[in-house]
Structure 1
Amino acid sequence: MKKQIKNILGLLLTLCFAYTNAQERILNFDTKIKVEQSGIIKVLENITIKAERVQFLHGLLRTLPLTRKDNYGNNINVGYTIDYIKKDGIEEKYFTKESDGNWKIYIGNKDIDLATGIYVYQIAYSVPYQIGYFDDYDEIYWNVTGNEWQIPINKVSCELLLPKDSDAFLNIHSYTGYKGAKASEGSEKLNDHKTRAYFYANNLKSNQGLTVAASFPKGVVSPASALQKTASIYSKIKGTLWLTLFAIGMFIFYFLQWQKNGKDPKKKTIIAQFRPPFNWSPAIVGYVYNKGVNDKVYMASMVNTAIKGAIKLTSTVEKSLFTTKKLYEIVVLNTEVPHLSEEEKALFKPIAKKKKLLVSRTYYDVFAKAYTGWITSVTNQININSYYTSNTRKKIIGFLVLVNMGLFFVLLSNSSGYINYGFFIMLIGSSATTYWLSKKIEKIGMQILRAVLCFFVVIPTIFTYFASLFFKSWIEIAVQGFIFIAYIIYCINLGKYTIKGSEAIEKLEGFKLYLETAEKNKMNMLNPPELTPELFEELLPYAIALNVDVVWGKQFETLLETAKYNPEWYSGDDSYKTPERFISNLGDAVGASRVDPTPSRSSSSDGSSGSWNSGSSGGGSSGGGGGGGGGGGW
C-alpha cells in the first residue's frame, strides 16, 4: 500500500514538474546598457524565451513606452532607433505599431508559425535624452524589463557601462516587484574600479520587473544642450503656456463674435409710456420682453381673462390636523366675452366647457389643453425672430470652436499617451460638423441636431475633459473653468435685438418704467392717468407679465384699502393686494394641474515610464525611470 502511495505521489510530482516546465516563460532577460558621452544610451536586450504556442505563435512582442517623466514630473516624448533585431543570431523580420502610448515591436513573421522550443532574441536600440541632470551628479534611471510582461521571467541581469573605461559610478540601486514597489530584492554590485555596474533578479512574476539606477560625476556625459534645456523648460510650462494661449484665443474669438453678432443697437433715453405699446395684450408684451413664454406670462393672461369678466378666481383654505392648504377654483361667469385677445380665447376655450374647476390634477386634460392652446396662439401672433435673434447657430459654432481649440490644446500640451488616434478622429469630425452646421443648421430639426451633437460631440468631449482632469494642475483646471464660464457668458449675451425689436423694447422699457414709478413720479409726468382701482385692474396683468407686479401692487395698497376695493374677478383673502404671493401661489397650483397624474412606465497600459526623481540614492521604485513597457508573444 505504501509503495502504491509513493508511486502516485511520484506521478503527481512528475506531472506538476512537466506542467511547470511546459509553461511559456522568459528564461533569461539579459540587458547591456552603454551610456554615450553625448547622452544617448545604447541598449542591447538578450531575451531567451520558452515557446509552447500559447502566446508565442509567431514570435516575440516587445513594448516600449513613448513617454517618461522629466525632473519636474512633466511627460516628455521618448524616441527609439532600432539598430538591429536578431533571433538565434540571425537577423529577424519585425514591424512596429504605436498603440495606447506604447511603441510595439512585433518580432517574427505573421505568415510563419513559431515551433515550440527555446529561442534567443536580440533587440539593439538607441534612446536619446535619458540622462537626469542634477546639481552635484548625473544619473541614469532605467526600467530594464518593464512591468507589463504577462509571463514570468526566471532570471534578469543588467550591465551598465559609462563612456570611458576610466569613468566610475558613484552610487547604484535596484528595485524589483510590481510597479511602484520600493523593495530591492535583487542584487547589485560594482567591479573593483567602479567602472561597471551589475544588477540581478530572479523569479519575477507576471507584471513584476527590475529597475536600475546609477549616478556618476558631472562631466562624464556632455551637459544638457541649450536645445535640451529649452525643451525641458518648455516641457515644464507647456501645459500652462498652451492653456494661456488657448484661453486668450477663445476670449478674443468670443469678444469679436459678440461685437459682430450680439451687441444690441445703442439704446435711446427711456421715456415713460402710460399705455402698452402697439395695443399689445399682456401675453404679447411678456412674450416680446422676455424673448419667450413662461408661467408668469401665462398667469398674466389668466388674470386678464378674469378681469374682463370671463372667469372668477376664488381661493379657500383647507385645514387639517397638521397642515394648512390653499385651494384655488376657477368659476366660469360668461362664455361670450367680446374683448378677449386671441391667446385668451385659446386659454378660455377648454375651461368654458366647465362651470367650475378646482385647480388640481383632476382636470389635468383641461389645463393642459388651455396651456398648449395659449402657447400656440401667442407664438403664431408674433414672429419673435423679427424682434430678437438668439444666434443659436453662432452659439453652437462657438461651442465647436471651443472643442476644436481644446483638442489642439490637449494634443500640443499632453504627451502622456492617453491621447491617441481617437482625438484626431474627434478633431476631424467636429471640424467637419462646424463647417456643415454653418451651412445647414437652419434647415434641419433642432431635436435631431441636439441628439447628434450630444452623442458625437458633447458626451465624448465632457468625458475626455473630466478624464483629463486627473493629469492637470489646479491652475489648468481653474483656467479651463474660466473658459467654460466665458462660453456661458458668451451664449447668454450673444442674443441680439433687431432694429424692430430695439424699438419695441424701448417702448416696453418705458411702459415698465411707468408701472414701477406711477405713484412716485406722477408729479413729474405730463398728463399721467389718475391712479384708480380701475387702472390697477387694467394694468395689473401687464405688471405681472413684466415682473413688476409687486411694485405695482404696493403703489395701490393705500388707495385700494381706502376705496374698500372688492374685485369681481377674485374672491377669497386679500392676497391680490400683494400680487407676488397671489400670483406665485396660483401659478404653482395651475402649473401642477398641467402635470399628468398617471405614473409613467417605463488589460491596458498607461504608455508612460516613471518619474525622473533620483533613483540612485534609493528614492526610486520598480517601474520608475526611462525604459519599461513589457511584452509577450503574438
Structure 2
Amino acid sequence: MKLRLALLLVALLAPVFFVVPTYASVDDFTISNYTIDYLLSRDAEGRSVLKTVETITAEFPDFDQNHGIERAVPLSYNGHTTNLAIDSVQHADGSSWNYTTYTSNDNAVIRIGDAATYVHGEQTYVITYTQHDVTNYFTNTNDDEFYWDTNGTEWRIPITHLSVVTRISDGLQAALNGNTSCYVGFSGSNQPCQITQDGSVFTVSADNLAAGENVTTAIGFRPNTFTPYQKTTWDKFINIFKYVWSSLVVVGFAAIFWVPLKWSSVVSRKKEIGTVVPEYIPPKDVSVT
C-alpha cells in the first residue's frame, strides 16, 4: 500500500499492581463498530485538506482490565508533514474524554482514558482531526489521487464492522475523473473490495477484520486539481531550527570533550615549565633610547 497509515489501536496497560488473570490480556476486547467519515476539500491555495471523524465503539470486559485505547495518526505523508491537528476527543453524547498525546515512530499517539479509572462494557470514542496535503500526483495513472489507508495495519484488535465514507466538497466534484479502487487485507494486500459512489460520496465497508487488516481507498481527480505540497514559512523555520539545534548539539558535545583535554594540557605544560620570568634585554648592538 502506497501509504501505510500506521493507526495503532491498543488498550492502555493496567497498573503493575493489578494481577491480570493468566487467560486475560489487555488486547482481549473487540471493536464492534468502527466508522470513519472523511471530508476532502481544498484551501485557498488549492492544497488538499482532510477532515476526519472516527467513531470507535469498543466492547470491554466487565472486570478491571483496560483504562481506554490509543490511536496513532501519522504526522507525515509522502515525505512531508500533514500539519496534523487534533480537534476533539469525545463520548457519543458529545462530552469530552480525558486524553493526552505523545509522539512515537513519526506518529501522534492519542491516549484516551484515565489512568485512575477502568472502562467496562460498551464505550464509544469520537476522534476528530484535520490534516493537510493528503493527495498526490501519480504518473502511471496521470491523475491526482486521494490514496489512503483507513483503519490502518498496526493495531491488535479485531473489528466486527468497518464503514468508511468519503465526502468530496462541492468545489471538487467537477474534478473527479471516475477512477476509484479499494483494497482490503494485511499490509501489501491487493485483494479488491467494493467501493460505491453516490454523487460526491464514496462508501466502503468490511466485516470481521482480523487484527492488522486494513481497508485502503483511492479516488482519482484530474491532473493539477490540487496544488502540490510546498513548505510554509513555519515549516522552513522549523527546518532551520532543527539544523541550528543539531549543530549546537554537535558543538556542545565537542566542547564537553575538548575543554577538559585543553585544560589538562595547559595545566601539564605549566607544571613542566614552571614560572617564567620575563627579561627585557635589548638585542645586541641595538639602542633602547
Kindly indicate which of the two structures has a greater share of residues assigned to helix: 1
Letter in 2 for 1:162: I
Unaligned runs of 5+ in 2: 1-23, 266-289
- In structure 2, relative to structure 1, the CA distance for the partners of 1:55 and 1:123 (3 Å cut) is farther
* Paired residues for 1:180-579 under 5 Å: 180-184=188-192, 186-191=193-198, 193=199, 195-217=200-222, 223-224=226-227, 228=229, 230-231=230-231, 428=249, 430-442=250-262
Letter in 2 for 1:43: T
- In structure 2, relative to structure 1, the CA distance for the partners of 1:218 and 1:443 (3 Å cut) is closer
Q: 2:57: which partner in 1?
A: 48
- In structure 2, relative to structure 1, the CA distance for the partners of 1:441 and 1:178 (3 Å cut) is same
Higher relative contact order (CA 8 A, sep 6+): 1
Give the alignment partner of residue 180 of structure 2, picking from 162, 172, 181: 172
Q: Give 1:154 deviation, angstroms.
A: 1.4
Give per-residue Cα distances to partners, 1:167-221, cap 9 Å, x unaligned. 264121111112122222x322112x4x2111112222122211111113357x5
TM-score by length of 1: 0.32
Give the alignment partner of residue 169 of structure 2, picking from 151, 163, 169: 163
Q: Give 1:145 deviation, angstroms.
A: 0.5
Letter in 2 for 1:211: T
Distance of 1:206 and 1:444 partners within structure 2: 60
Q: 2:81: which partner in 1?
A: 77
Distance of 1:432 and 1:166 partners within structure 2: 51
Paired residue secondary structure (1:32): strand
* Paired residues for 1:121-136 under 5 Å: 121-133=125-137, 136=142
Q: RMSD of the alignment, in Å?
A: 3.4
Give per-residue Cα distances to partners, 1:598-629, cap 9 Å, x unaligned. xxxxxxxxxxxxxxxxxxxxxxxxxxxxxxxx
Q: Name the larger-Rg structure.
A: 1
Paired residue secondary structure (2:173): coil
Unaligned runs of 5+ in 1: 1-18, 70-74, 239-407, 413-422, 446-634
Give the alignment partner of residue 107 of structure 1, picking from 109, 112, 115: 112
Q: Give 1:110 deviation, angstroms.
A: 2.2
- In structure 2, relative to structure 1, the CA distance for the partners of 1:49 and 1:56 (3 Å cut) is farther
Letter in 1 for 2:164: C
Is the CA contact (8 Å cut-off) linking 2:85 and 2:130 kept in structure 1? yes
Give per-residue Cα distances to partners, 1:393-424, cap 9 Å, x unaligned. xxxxxxxxxxxxxxx99x65xxxxxxxxxx97
TM-score by length of 2: 0.67
Distance of 2:264 and 2:105 partners within structure 1: 38
Number of residue pairs aligned between Structure 1 and Structure 2: 225
Give the alignment partner of residue 35 of structure 1, picking from 30, 37, 40: 40
Distance of 1:56 and 1:197 partners within structure 2: 38
Letter in 2 for 1:94: Y
Q: Give 1:107 deviation, angstroms.
A: 1.4
Distance of 2:173 and 2:64 partners within structure 1: 42
Letter in 1 for 2:50: I
Letter in 1 for 2:82: V
Letter in 2 for 1:106: R
Kindly indicate which of the two structures has a greater share of residues assigned to strand: 2
Give per-residue Cα distances to partners, 1:400-457, cap 9 Å, x unaligned. xxxxxxxx99x65xxxxxxxxxx97x973x5333113332215669xxxxxxxxxxxx
Is the CA contact (8 Å cut-off) linking 2:41 and 2:172 kept in structure 1? no
Distance of 2:171 and 2:80 partners within structure 1: 31
Letter in 2 for 1:433: F
Give the alignment partner of residue 153 of structure 1, picking from 146, 156, 159: 159
Is the CA contact (8 Å cut-off) linking 1:67 and 1:76 kept in structure 2? yes
- In structure 2, relative to structure 1, the CA distance for the partners of 1:166 and 1:77 (3 Å cut) is closer
Q: 2:91: which partner in 1?
A: 87
Distance of 1:433 and 1:213 partners within structure 2: 48
Distance of 1:83 and 1:433 partners within structure 2: 40
Residue 138 (1) aligns with residue 144 (2): yes
Distance of 2:189 and 2:68 partners within structure 1: 30
Give per-residue Cα distances to partners, 1:228-276, cap 9 Å, x unaligned. 3x449xx9xx9xxxxxxxxxxxxxxxxxxxxxxxxxxxxxxxxxxxxxx
Q: Give 1:67 deviation, angstroms.
A: 1.9
